[in-house]
């Protein structure tokens, strides 16, 4: 449904606004690299604008920080109604490797509703173009969750209340019932 | 003078020719030693959890369901593709692939989950024992990361207490 909506709403061209809320500037450089003649995205109608009031898409880079979270939320609210948010880089997707620092709140999805995630540290310019193409419905996404099992084994439902401290060890009480 | 400089600019632009890469039409060659997302091979993995202990972004969670089954979950959200997990893996079960087109609309698509069969030590009854004394202090008992809320917990003892050791910060936004 979102795909159809995107094709309908953003059929002609996307105007992007890029907001860095405390990243290391690596993703900024990759986004600017997308706009250079080498990966000329203006041929697809994608244009960088300076104000969130002109933008359709917000490119979020960097984690939501304690100092910039409010400004990021205000910039999102300033955008006109059919709007998309792209989280670019591992900081915006998951909080970055300093996710447990005192100044980092976590991924930007804690502040804004994120529509598309482009992981990478930083993502390649091709990956960013691919993410935009996925959002526009031009290509299908390649990733899918993977689950492997070495043996078929009934896994019991786990709850912390079944754990008991026995001297130095932690004992799982329901083990006999499995 | 200005006309001359414009002419010179035009000449320079024409001299460069067409530099735009035909990316969406055809794939670009990747640079040497490029690292994409890691791929976990369940057939080779022995479940030593060395990758979980070495991950700087703490993206690999290990949880022992019971004596025989260990769950190893790679989240992939804040992975920086540093390749430390692949370096430390003794069985070479993790390979850094060349995949970089990982854009999704669901963050759960990036995850990989392995359910591993563990044989237990006859003497101590545990799945795995650390080599050094400090490792034993850290890894006493079961490994029990919080898979439900996708949180990394350093000691298994922390599960018995109400406050988790590693937790995200919460602040109020008006």
For residue B66, the tally of other CB atoms under 10 A from its CB is: 19
pLDDT tens digits, one per residue of B52-111: 888 888 888 888 777 677 888 898 888 889 988 999 888 888 999 888 888 888 888 888
pLDDT value at residue B161: 47
CB contact under 8 A, B105 and A149: no
The 8-class DSSP code of residue B28 comes to P
CB-based contact (8 Å) between A35 and chain B? no
Which residue of B20, B81, B160 is in closest CB contact with A170?
B160
Candidates B69, B75, B78, partner chain A, best to mutate (most A CBs within 10 A): B78
Mean per-residue pLDDT, A77-86: 90
Give all domains of chain B, ordered by start, each with its CATH number.
Answer: 31-157 (3.30.70)
Q: Which long-range contacts (CB under 8 A, 24 or more apart) does A136-143 make?
A: A136/A6, A136/A7, A136/A10, A136/A14, A137/A3, A137/A4, A137/A6, A137/A7, A138/B24, A141/B103, A141/B104, A141/B105, A141/B109, A142/B99, A142/B101, A142/B102, A143/B102, A143/B103, A143/B104, A143/B109, A143/B110
pLDDT value at residue B140: 45
Q: Is the pLDDT of residue A87 over 90?
A: yes
Cα four-point dihedral sign A51, A57, A58, A61 = negative
Give all domains of chain A, ordered by start, each with its CATH number.
Answer: 2-136 (3.40.50.12280)
Candidates B46, B62, B103, B107, partner chain A, best to mutate (most A CBs within 10 A): B103
CB contact under 8 A, B24 and A100: no
DSSP state string for A40-77: -GGGGT-EE-S-GGG-SEEEEES-EETTTHHHHHHHHH
Interface subset of A 114-143, CB within 8 angstroms of B: 115-121, 123-124, 126-127, 129-131, 133-135, 138, 141-143
* Cα–Cα distance, A168 to A113 (Å, whole number): 44
pTM, entire model: 0.76
pLDDT tens digits, one per residue of A7-62: 665 566 888 998 998 889 999 999 999 988 888 888 888 889 999 999 989 999 99
Structure ipTM = 0.72
**Tokens representing B148?**
């439900």
Nearest CA in chain B to A37: B20
């Amino acid at each position: 449904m979102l795909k159809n909506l995107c094709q309908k709403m953003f059929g002609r061209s996307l105007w992007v606004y890029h907001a860095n809320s405390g990243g290391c500037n690596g993703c900024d450089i990759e986004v600017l690299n997308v706009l250079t003649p080498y990966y000329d995205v203006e041929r697809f109608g994608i244009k960088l604008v300076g104000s969130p009031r002109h933008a359709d898409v917000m490119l979020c880079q960097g984690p939501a920080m304690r100092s910039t979270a409010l400004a990021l939320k205000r910039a999102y609210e300033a955008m006109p109604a059919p709007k998309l948010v792209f989280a670019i880089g591992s900081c915006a997707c998951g909080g970055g490797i300093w996710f447990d620092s005192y100044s980092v709140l976590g991924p930007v999805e804690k502040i804004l509703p994120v529509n598309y995630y482009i992981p990478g540290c930083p993502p390649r310019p091709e990956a960013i173009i691919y993410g935009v193409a996925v959002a526009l419905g031009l290509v299908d996404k390649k990733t899918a969750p993977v689950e492997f099992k070495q043996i078929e084994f009934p896994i019991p439902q786990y709850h912390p209340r079944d754990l008991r401290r026995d001297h130095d060890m932690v004992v799982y009480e329901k083990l006999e019932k499995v | 003078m200005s006309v001359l400089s414009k002419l010179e600019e035009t000449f320079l632009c024409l001299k460069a020719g067409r530099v735009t890469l035909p990316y969406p039409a055809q794939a670009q060659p990747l640079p040497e030693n490029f690292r994409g997302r890691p791929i976990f091979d369940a057939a080779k993995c022995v479940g030593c959890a060395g990758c979980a202990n070495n991950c700087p972004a703490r993206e690999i969670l290990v949880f022992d369901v019971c004596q025989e089954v260990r769950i190893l979950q790679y989240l992939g959200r804040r992975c920086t593709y540093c390749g430390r997990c692949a370096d430390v893996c003794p069985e070479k079960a993790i390979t850094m692939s060349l995949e970089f087109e990982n854009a999704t609309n669901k963050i759960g698509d990036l995850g990989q989950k392995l359910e591993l069969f563990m044989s237990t030590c006859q003497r101590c009854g545990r799945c795995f024992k650390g080599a050094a004394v400090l490792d034993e202090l850290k890894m006493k008992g079961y490994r029990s990361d919080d898979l439900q809320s996708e949180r990394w917990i350093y000691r298994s003892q922390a599960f018995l207490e109400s406050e988790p050791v590693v937790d995200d910060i919460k602040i109020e936004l008006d």
